[in-house]
Chains A and B, each alone.
Chain A
Amino acid sequence: MSAAPILETQALECRFGGLRAVAALDMQIQPGSITALIGPNGAGKSTVINLLSGFLSPTSGRVMLGGRDVTCEPPHRLARVGLVRTFQNGRLFQRLSVFENSLVGSSSRVKSGFFDTVFRTRRFRSEVRALEERARDYLKEFDLLADTDRLVAELPYGKQRQVEMVRALVGAPSILLLDEPAAGLNSGEQEVLSAYLRTLRQRGLTILLVEHHMGLVMRLADHMVVLNFGKKIFEGTAAETQKSPVVAEAYLGRRGRHAVM
């Protein structure tokens, strides 16, 4: 843990009325790592993602990105500084094609204004060309080039999630927050996802994912953070997490007395 964390939370707390969804969370994400955020249902994992990506404001505590305090920044500004997220079950723009959906991901990189757009100046044209090229490159990686002009609604679920991933990557993020990226994927698709996330890590991207598929997560993650009832109860490597009795108890309950999850 010697390098400075790229993303960290300090005493992050989020209350809804009397309910503490996230309590006193201290978490450090190292650059270039894959961190998994796990925990039983209702542990507060999605809330953490929402807090980190600007969709929720914490009641107290701080979020630091690359040493900067970004606690109250709205989502679009976080995307601009390189923090991009995906959504549970995916959220795509139904009225746009696959290609257009991908292009929207680069919205934060567009500098042209009205004048450039209407008069199609050189600045506009070269900017658009660069963004379209990047989108096509990513679509090619996912083998989606044949589908570029189709409406996203026509694609099978697995491919839709991939389009969402392309959209996220086109924005050139430095850190990706993935909310249950494997949900609804069959085992073949999960393998593809795992492999791709490893590739992204090799390219220097930092990844934080919330996931329920334990097998996938155990093989993929460098570091795991376990939540229960909004609090961090354990963190460590995958191997350490598997052996931890604290984690087992959170998932399985005290032996014999609670239902197995």
Chain B
Amino acid sequence: MTKRLEHKLGAVILFLALMGGAAFLSDFDLRLAILSILAAISVIGLYFAFGLAGMIHLAQAAFVGIGAYASALAAQQLHVSPWIGLVVGVIAAALAGALLAYPMHRTRSHYLALTTVGFSVSFEVIIRNWTSVTGGYDGLGAIPLLRLDTAMRSELEFFYICVAVLAACVVAAMLLRASPFGRALIAVRDDELAAAASGIDIARLKTKAFILCSAYGGLSGALYAHYGGFISPDDFGLARAIMLLSMLIVGGEFSILGAIVGAFFLTYLPEWLRFIGGGYMAVFGLFMLAVLIVMPKGIVGSLGAWLVPRVARSR
């Protein structure tokens, strides 16, 4: 018992040290970290829809976008505080998720993927062209920022806010995973027939997972909107959706930690590769392929297998 307590204490101390150390990072470094955290929140949502429920979801960026635009417009036009805007963003995204999820529940793998792709692209087209509401191609600016009015630099302050939100998201996700809901999702992905025979309403369950995923995405989008004060359709299209799902797969689709690791890794990787010059995204594509071929369970899954062979279950 004391050993576990030691480990937990050690983890907490490490965490506090990292948070303290963040004060010494430059604004640029903090920005990357913030973007990684925001991505991580979206990807945790994908963990529910894809990692647990097995739905190939290539439209998460659209829900991030819905959260972002809803929150931004609420703060800008209705003059609510950005904090309320966050709630608006989450609800808007969740509602949109509910609308799309129900008809989709019977659709399978490739067809599901294509449906979400179609939705992503349609969303992008609508956002780009509905200029009166969304500002179109030029984007939406003058969004009120989320601030606590502390003495810290705004970048550092927002970083701490994001860490706190991420922590809450992770805790919520862990609690959901370790519940009948989480077990039912794994059961459905493992064996639908047995799951149905056990009394699981598969359609309703997948819909719930999808709505949950959308809500996480919406939260991420709302935070993003109130971070930079400016959003544009480029951030919420199919390319971004593909990137988000890739983060989960590369990080390890079967765990919340995998979602976070993947988000950080694929946010930092293009930065590391930038020195290559023009073709760095080609290397990025190759790299993703390499990970898929060599590390089928993602970084967390494969590293976990090497480090702790006995407990190597893909949960």
Contact = CB atoms under 8 A, between A and B. Distances in A.
Interface in A67-112: 74-77, 79-80, 84-87, 91-96, 100, 103-110, 112
B190 A100 contact: no
Residue from B176, B200, B315 whose CB has the most chain A CB atoms within 10 Å: B200
B201 interface: yes
B172 A84 contact: no
Interface residues of A, number: 39
Contact of A93 (B175, B180, B187): B187
B197 A87 contact: yes
Contact of B183 (A77, A94, A103, A108): A103
B194 interface: yes
Given A114-B212, A118-B176, A128-B180, A96 B187 contact: yes
Interface string B233-258: 00000000000000000000000000
A53 interface: yes
Contacts of A105: 198-199
Given A76-B202, A107-B184, A117-B179, A95 B190 contact: yes
What class of interface size applies to chain B in its complex with A? Answer: 20 to 34
A172 B120 CA distance: 44
A108 B181 contact: no
Contacts of A76: 196-202
A96 B183 contact: yes
Nearest to B179: A117
Nearest to B191: A91
B175 A118 contact: yes
B175 A87 contact: no
A55 interface: yes
Contact of B198 (A77, A112, A167): A167
A124 B180 CA distance: 10
Residue from A76, A94, A108 whose CB has the most chain B CB atoms within 10 Å: A76
A120 interface: yes
Interface string A34-56: 00000000000000000001110
A218 interface: no
Contact of B197 (A75, A114, A151): A75
Contact of B315 (A77, A95, A118, A167): A95
B80 interface: no
Contacts of B181: 114, 117
Residue from A53, A80, A86, A104 whose CB has the most chain B CB atoms within 10 Å: A104
Contacts of A96: 183, 186-187, 190
Nearest to A50: B193
B313 to A, nearest CB: 6
Contacts of B172: 118
B81 interface: no
A187 B89 CA distance: 62
B197 A84 contact: yes
B183 A104 contact: yes
Contact of B199 (A79, A91, A118): A79
3 closest residue pairs by CB, A with B: A108-B199, A79-B199, A91-B194
Given A107-B180, A112-B179, A151-B313, 6 more contacts: A95-B190, A104-B184, A107-B198, A107-B199, A107-B200, A117-B181
